[in-house]
Amino acid sequence: MTQKSDLEQDTLRIGIVGAGANTKKLHIPGLKRQPNVEVVAVANRSLASGSEVAKEFDIPKVADHWLDLIEDDDIDAVCIGTWPYMHAPVTIAALERGKHVLCEARMAMNASQAHEMLEVSKSNPGLVAQIVPAPHTLHLDRTIIERIASGYLGELIYVDACITLGSDFPDHDSPWHWRHSPDLSGNNIMTMGIWYEAIMRWIGPATSVVALGQCVVRHRPDSHGRRVTMEIPDHLDILCRMARGGQMRCSVSTVIGHPPLSSITLHGTDGTLEIAEKTAGGPFVLSGGRRGDDRLSPIDIAPENEGGWRVEEEFVNAVRGIEPVTHTDFATALRYMEWTDAVNLSLREGETINLPLFD
């Protein structure tokens, strides 16, 4: 297929492969809000569920199979909202067919798949390839990065990340979810990859990983009432050395009762920055303190620095050559997938795993 010149197109036509919760809540409405963009087709897990989505969002075409969208020459781009096990095959097929790709996070099942996705993307440099970014700190990222760059912290000593969003005492009757299945979610564990992606924005990647984890809830009932053995940890502790100096402890849990509010604290030789919930499930806020201060104090976010969710706008603008992809390009996503694999390797082998996995 001859690739079309997107700068000359009046209308960008997008197909939806997998209309999950995020896709229906954010991606389809966000894409439809962009000028001269049409969401023209959807392929979901079944024709019936695809028809429901098409009716809800006034999408004209429902496909029996995702390959129908890939092979449709009237579709310029695909938005992939499937579970991670489908991200690599759909992305690779779309890029090889000359279509731009917006893919839901996490990037893939594992780093090997992510690496293959990146290589295919590099082989098609005229196509936009974007992964949906970690959203929780988008409004704070620019200010955090500027503070660190200005020397607010001094030299980084230690990052303490405590992630307890939605955590509660273990519930052994809680139902099975696709995120509990290595066959569907791959090496991704809870929300650890989301938070590592955000931390990388501020201080760069890790150079080594050692991890301990456990399945506190060892079995869950599936939709048929069958008892399913859990293989993906629901409590995890990770230690890392960071490429730019310092080290990190990252604790992620869904089974701690009366948990502390989630926070990421960056400790340096001259200052401290804290990114934390102030109420359970509320927005993260930024506080800081320097040598000589009595306590951490709130840091105001200047209006020009306040970021936010603009994934669909960025994708469309990138296709049209208006701006590059920053949240999140494939190379960055590969780094968090390598870290994810390193955590899994350390859990299995009981050893420290060095990064990067791919040179």
Higher pLDDT, 10 or 222: 222
Residue 265, strand partner residues: 160, 274
Q: How far apart are CA 91 and CA 316, in angstroms?
A: 17
Query: Strands 247-253 and 156-163: what pairing?
Result: parallel
Query: Tell me, what's the pLDDT at 10?
Result: 75
Query: Tell me, what's the pLDDT at 348?
Result: 97
The pLDDT of residue 359 is above 90: no
Q: How far apart are CA 255 and CA 234, in angstroms?
A: 7
The pLDDT of residue 258 is above 80: yes
Query: What is the second-level CATH architecture of the domain 6-134+310-327?
Result: 3-Layer(aba) Sandwich (3.40)
Unique residue bearing structure tokens 């980084």: 156
pLDDT above 70: percentage of residues in the chain: 97
* pLDDT digits 0-9 by tens, 321-343: 999 999 999 999 999 999 999 99
Q: How far apart are CA 247 and CA 173, in angstroms?
A: 37
pLDDT above 90: percentage of residues in the chain: 95
Query: Strands 227-229 and 219-221: what pairing?
Result: antiparallel
The pLDDT of residue 83 is above 60: yes
Residue spans per domain, the chain: 6-134+310-327, 141-308+338-354
Average pLDDT over residues 70-78: 97
Q: Which of 41, 27, 17 is nearest to 90 (CA)?
A: 17
Question: At the top level of CATH, which class does the domain 141-308+338-354 belong to?
Answer: alpha beta
Average pLDDT over residues 84-98: 98
Query: Tell me, what's the pLDDT at 9?
Result: 54
